[in-house]
Amino acid sequence: MEYPLANLRVLDFSRVLAGPFAGRMLADLGADVVKIEPPDGDVTRLWGKIVANIPGYYHQQNAGKRNICIDLRAEGARDLVLDLVRRADILIENYRPDVMARLGLGYDVLAAANPRLIMLSISGFGRGGPESHRPAYAPIVHAEAGLMDRQARRGSIPPRDLPLSVADTNASLHGLVALLAAVILRERTGKGQHIDIAMIDATIATDDQVHYDLEDSEDTGPLRNDVWQTGAGPVLVSADFRHLWRRLTSEIGVHDPTHADMPLDEKIATRREIVRQFMAALATWDDVETSMARMGIAWGQVRQAHTLPMQPTVAHRAAIVEIDDRAGGTRPITQSPYRFSDAKSGVRGPAPHRGEHNHEVLEEWLSLAPEAVDALIAHGVVQRDSEVLG
């Protein structure tokens, strides 16, 4: 079996998450993804558990890539990048919209060097707009797109950020879809594309709840899912409470002591107390599963994330795998979710050190002699993490 994207060459100029995640997925699908990292490094090299001088956050988003460390402001760096661009299929960047142009590497320049190049630019507020100049990480977009306010209203809590970077990963995945669409289009036209993805666009487009806010119709939606405490632990029940109550009385045989003349608030409180007692009496997860199955109710264990490797489906599908930690052992990493009937996919190796593949990539992509690469290093155009690489 082959990787679907085995023949694609990708230059990944991005950092943090929105761009690197797209690059990681391309690498998992077989593309040769070369991360172009500045000498001061991706900021995510400061986050997470450090193993073999590679922190966990950086490792998760850059596994399977190769790495060249280029000082884009050094004399000769622009020419080197243009040489790489001539041999690339895709370029990913998530600087603010004016940065690549200021470096002399705007899309017009890159397309002149390689008309077939597909360039993905991800930014908080897109290109050419009133807020294009604003820097934006995921929490900024979570605030601007109304996610934090909705969470606060529905949860009756003070506004606070979400516990994952939805705005980044949504933009990344929408960018990935656009990239692959552009690859297909290029097969017909021979032309590349410049794709402009705004994180705020991607967040709104992927928000299945936004219509309630836009149409002031929150009261028309289903009741919120409840979390109940069972004897085995907390469980989320994905059912309108009214439906849960009907199933509990009809399928489990729970007695309903309420009557038509009872005040509504009292009726609701009485029924909820009965459900609370029923849930608390479920002593094991087998008891929970049996009861929910009898009622035909969807449910989920409210699980602590560190136990994910023990979640049955996660374990069965190897959604978290152990790979080489470059220190004589292994470390856990999330697996890409793609499962093909007759093709390979999946994480292909650990994340790279800065400049680890300077020689390897430049000799392979550009047919440079080792001495020519050494000269670039001597002039500070290309650098490497000497602490790790020697």
Order of strands across the sheet that contains 118-123: 193-198, 118-123, 90-93, 9-12, 32-37, 66-70, 382-383
CA distance 380 to 69: 10
Q: Where are the beta strands (DSSP E) in the chain?
A: 9-12, 32-37, 50-51, 54-55, 66-70, 90-93, 118-123, 193-198, 226-229, 234-238, 298-301, 320-324, 330-334, 382-383
Active site annotation includes 168 = yes
C-alpha distances in Å from residue 339, one per residue of 1, 210, 344, 375 = 12, 31, 8, 44
Q: Hey, how many other C-beta atoms are within 10 angstroms of the C-beta on 48?
A: 14
Catalytic residue among 32, 42, 89, 168: 168
196: Cβ contacts below 8 Å, ≥ 6 apart: 121, 123, 126, 127
The answer to whether 63 and 35 are in contact (CB under 8 A) is no
Distance CA 64, CA 67 (A): 10
| CA 152/CA 156 separation, integer angstroms | 5
CA distances for 287 relative to 105, 108, 230, 255, angstroms: 61, 63, 10, 19
Both tokens of 314, joined, read 């996660």
Q: Which two three-digit tokens encode residue 278?
A: 């029923």
Instruction: Assess contact for 353 and 385: CB atoms under 8 A.
Output: yes
- Catalytically active residues, by annotation: 168
